[in-house]
Chains A and B, each alone.
Chain A
Amino acid sequence: MSVLDMIIQQSINGLMLGIMYSLVAVGFTLYFGVLNVINFSHGDFFMLGGFMALILYGIADTLGWTQNVPLLIIYLFLGSMILTALIAIITARICVKPVSKAPMLISLLVTLGLGIAIREAVRVFYPRGSDPKGFPTLLPQGSLSIGNIVIRYENVIIFVLGVLVIVVVNYLITKTKMGMAIRAVAQDGEAAMMMGVDLDRTIDITFLIGAAVAAVAGIMNGFYYGQIMFNMGAMMGVIGFSASVIGGLGNVYGAIVGGILFGLLETFAAATLPMGAENKRVFAFFIVILFLVFKPTGILGEKVYERV
C-alpha cells in the first residue's frame, strides 16, 4: 500500500465516521436554533434509534418477515424514526420546553439528566441491557477494489443515505412552510408567534426532525459496526455538539462540515501522530477549543450570536 493509497483509504474511514457525527450534529444545531437549548440528551436518542430498530427487528424476526430485505430495512428505519421521534417529542414537552427559558445551566443539566434516565432505562429494561448487542447484517457485504483501495458497498450506501438525509432536512427547513416556521422561531420566537406561528407545534416538529435524524444515525451505526450498546450515546453527544459548533451552530450544512471534519481529524490523528490512536480525541478536542476561541461562529456560521 502506497502512502497515497493509505491517505485515500483513511479518508474513506474518516468520512464514514464523519457522516454519522454529522447526523447527530444536525439535531444539536436545530434545537439550538429553535429553543436556544443545547440538548445533551440528544446522543441518547441516537442510541435509542439503534435499540428501537433492534426491537423492531426482533418483532419482525419472530413474525417471519425477514425474507424481503429492502422492505425490512425500510421498515426498520421508518419504524425506529417514528418511535424515537415520538419519545423525543414527549420528553421534550415534559422536560426540555419548561426549562428553555431558564438559565442555560438549568437546561443543560435537565437534558443531561434526561440522557442519564434514557440510557439507564434502556440498560435496565432491555433484556441483559448492559451487554453489547449484536446488530443484524442486512446491507450487502461485498466490496469493490480500485487498485489497492477497497470500498465496501455498505460504506457507499451509508454515506449516500447520510448525505441524502441531510439534504432532505435542509430542504424541509429552507423550502417548506414548516421549515419557514422553524427558521422564524429561530430568529425571533416572540415575533414569530405574533405572526401566527404555532410555537408548540414548531418545537414538536423540530424535535421530530432532530430525533428522527439521530435515529437514522443510530441505525447506520448499528449496521456499520455490527453492535450497539446502551452507553454509546454519551460520547456521541459530546462529539455531535462539538461538530455542530465547529460547523457553526444553527447551520444545517455546518453540521455536515463539522461532523466530517471531526471524523477526519480523529482518523488522521490516529493514523499519523505518534501514540495517535490513544490520543486522537485529545487532538480533536484541542482543535475544537481553538475553533471556539478563534472562530466561535464556526466554519459556516453566519453571524455572532450574543445569547447569554
Chain B
Amino acid sequence: MANNQHEKEAFRGTGGLLLTLGIELVLYALIMAIFLDHGGTTLIIDVILAAAAIVYFKRNHALADKISATLAANRKAAWIGVIVLLLAVPFVLQASAYWLFIVITAGLFMMACLGLNIQLGSTGMMNLAGAAFQAFGAYTAGLLALNYGLPTWLTLLAGALVTGLFSILLFIPVLKTKGHYLALVTIAFQFMVVILVENMEWTGGPQGLKNIPLMNFFGYSFNEPLNLGFITLHKYANYYYFTLLLLFALGIAAHRIYHSWVGVTAATIRDDEVAAQTNGVQVNKWKLTLFVLGNCFIGLSGAFYSHMVGFISPPNFAFDKSLVMVSIVILGGMDNVLGIILGAFLLIILPEKLRFIQDYRFMIYGIVLIVMLIFQPRGLLPFVPRSYAELIQRYRHKLLQGKKAQGGQEA
C-alpha cells in the first residue's frame, strides 16, 4: 500500500522520465551558460531563478515532493543522465579551456573535501591544515617524479600514502586534544609546514618545484589534446575525465565507508566520545585511522594538482586554502557527499565568476559566508540523521502502519 502511495506521488511513465531528464538538462544548461557567458548576466539570471524556485517550492510542497519522488522513481535514468551530461562537459566547454581548468580545480577541491569530510563531518575531528597535507602529497609526487622519474600512477599513490604517513606526525595531538584546541593544533601545524617548506633547500624553497612531469599513464601523455576521432578536445579534457573517474571512485568509497559499520563507529565517536568508549569502541584506533585515511584523499588531490600544473610553490598551500576546504564541507552540509559538490561549486566556481566585481570580491565572499552560515548553520544540504532515515526507508511499511495506528503524522 505504501509503495502504491509512493508511486502515486511521482509523475509516472514517460512523462516522469522526461521530467527527470528535463530537470537535469535545465540545471546543466543553466550552469554551463554561466561558464560560456563572458559577463555576469547569466549568473544574475541564474541566481534570480534559483531564488524564485526556492520560494516557489517552499509554497508548493506538493510539487516539490512530487518532483523528488519522480527523481527517486527514475533513479537509474537520472544517474545515466548525470553521467552523460558530466561526460559532455569538455565538449560544451571546448572553446573555453579556462573554465574546464576551473571545473577540474573544483573537482580537486571536492576530492580533498571528501577526505576532510571523513575527519570533520563523520568523526568530528577538526582539521584546519588541509592545505598543508595537500602540500605533502604535491611535494611527494613532484619530488619523486623530478628526482627519480617515477611513473605518474606511482607518484600519485605515493603522494596519498606519504601524506597519510606524515599525518601520523600529528598522532598524539590529534588524540589528546579536541574542539578549539585541536583547531589550534592544526592551525599551528599548517603554519609550520608552509614556513618549513619555504625555508628548506630540497623542497625548492620559495621558488617551489618547476617542470614537474605532466601526467603520463603507460605512454599515454595527458599533455596532448584528446583526439576522439570525430573531435579533438583540449588537453585538459584528459585531466577532466581522470578527475571524474577518481571522484567517482573516491565518492563510492566514501559512501561505502559511511554506510558500513566503520561509518557508524565514526558517528558514535563524533556524537559522544565517552559513550563510544564505554560501549567498547576503540576510539583512539578509529580516530587515527580515519584521520590518516582522510589525509590520504587530501594528499592525492595535491599530487594530482602538481602533475596537472607542473609547478608548485609554498603559497599554493597557504592557510586560506585550508579555510576554503573547511568552508566547502561546512557550507555544503557536513557528512554529505552531495553537499560537498554544491559547496565546491559555490566556493570555487562562483568566486571565479565574480571576478567582474574585482575589488569587492573578497569582501563579498566574507559577507556571503557569514550570511549563509547564519541562515543555514547546518549547511545548504544538512545531513539526515542517518540510521533513522535508513531504518525508516527499510521498514517504511511497518512504521507507517504503526504510526497510523497511533494517529500520528508521517514525518
- A–B direct touch in complex (beta carbons closer than 8 A): yes
A: which residues have CB within 8 A of B? 32, 38, 95, 98-99, 102-106, 108-110, 112-118, 120-121, 124, 238, 241-242, 245, 249, 275, 278-279, 281-282, 285-286, 288-289, 292-293, 296, 307-308
User: What are 20 inter-chain pairs, A to B, with CB distance below 8 A?
Assistant: A95-B370, A95-B374, A103-B377, A110-B369, A112-B369, A115-B366, A116-B366, A118-B366, A120-B360, A241-B187, A245-B180, A245-B181, A249-B180, A282-B191, A282-B192, A282-B196, A285-B192, A288-B184, A289-B189, A296-B177
**Within the assembled complex, what's the spacing in Å between the Cα atoms of A101 and B176?**
24
Q: Which residues from chain B contact A113 at a C-beta distance below 8 Å?
A: 365-367, 369-370, 373
Known: A114-B370, A308-B178. 12 other contacts (CB 8 A): A109-B327, A109-B373, A113-B366, A113-B367, A117-B363, A120-B360, A120-B362, A249-B180, A281-B192, A282-B195, A292-B181, A293-B176
Do residues B177 and A121 form an inter-chain contact, with CB atoms below 8 A? no
Q: Which residue in B126, B195, B323, B363 is a CB contact (below 8 Å) of A279?
A: B195
Taking each of A106, A238, A279, which has the highest tally of chain B beta carbons within 10 Å of its own beta carbon?
A106
Chain A neighbourhood of B195, CB < 8 A:
278-279, 281-282
Main secondary structure of the interface of A (DSSP, over half): helix
Q: Does residue B211 face the partner (Cβ distance < 8 Å to A)?
A: no
Evaluate whether A105 and B173 lie within 8 angstroms (CB atoms) in the complex, with A98-B374, A275-B199 already known.
no
- Write out the residue numbers on chain A whose beta carbons fall within 8 Å of the beta carbon of B252: none
Which residue of the partner chain A has the closest CB to B273? Answer: A308
Q: Which residues of B contact A241 (CB under 8 A)?
A: 184, 187
Interface centre among B126, B189, B326, B373 (most CB of A within 10 A): B373
With both chains docked as a complex, state the minimum distance between the C-beta of B297 and any C-beta of chain A, in angstroms. Answer: 19
The total number of A-B Cβ pairs within 8 Å is 117
SS class, residues of chain B in contact with chain A:
helix
- By the criterion CB–CB under 8 Å, are B330 and A106 in contact? yes
B400 at the interface (CB under 8 A from A): no
From A108, A124, A279, A289, contact of B360 by CB (8 A)? A124
Which of B181, B189, B370, B373 is the most central at the interface, judged by chain A CB atoms within 10 Å of its CB?
Answer: B370
**Contact string against A for B residues 307-340, beta-carbon threshold 8 Å, 1 for contact and 0 otherwise:** 0000000000000000100110010000000000
CB < 8 Å: which of A105, A282, A285, A307 contacts B330?
A105
Q: Which residues of B contact A285 (CB under 8 A)?
A: 188-189, 191-192
Q: How far is the CA of A230 from the CA of B187 in the complex (A)?
A: 21
B362→A281 contact, CB < 8 A:
no
